[in-house]
Every structure is written in C-alpha cells, then in structure tokens.
Amino acid sequence: MDGKTYCDLINESFDGNEKSIVQLSLVDVYDGATYEHGEVLIELIHNMSERKYTRLIEKLSLSDQKEIYYYLLAGLDFTNNSNFKRQKV
C-alpha cells in the first residue's frame, strides 16, 4: 500500500486520487473484513460513478478484476444502505 494506511487510501480515494482508488480496490482482505471492504468500495463507486470506476479497473488483470467483483458482491450483501439493495455487480 506504498506505506499508506487503509484509512489514508480511503480518504485519498474519496478525494478522487485514481492511484489510491486502484490501490484500495486491490487491498487483500479476508473473512469478515471482505464484507466491510466491499461496502467501502460500493460507497466509493456510488460517490465517483460506475463509469469512472470501471474505466480505472478495466486496465487491471482479469484476476484482479475478479477479486474486486467478489468484494463488491460481499459489500452488496453486507450494506444497510437501501440504495444498494437488489443491485447487481
């Protein structure tokens, strides 16, 4: 994470830093943290737009894109935000 904390990446991502957005998307998390991380990502996507986020991750490997996909699925399952219920990835 280039010496940055998870919180640094979140703050920079919500400020529009594209490098931080990609780094945040690729943070390895496990178990229950997967759901919380996924929720952070869906909130970020909602904040910045799906189109812009897709443009950033389409440059990543298929393996990285799949990892992000599973984080997003977990986030949609975990979130209490009614804006995201019944959404599909």
Q: What is the pLDDT along the chain (89 residues), one digit of tens a residue?
A: 678 999 999 999 999 999 999 999 999 999 989 999 999 999 999 999 999 999 999 999 999 999 999 999 999 888 876 666 666 65
What are the DSSP calls for 51-70, one per residue? HHHHHHHTTS-HHHHHHHHH
- Domain positions in the chain: 6-84
| Contact predicate 48/86, CB 8 Å | no
Closest CA to 55 of 13, 22, 83, 8: 22
The structure's pTM equals 0.87
SS3 38: helix
> What pLDDT does 2 receive?
77
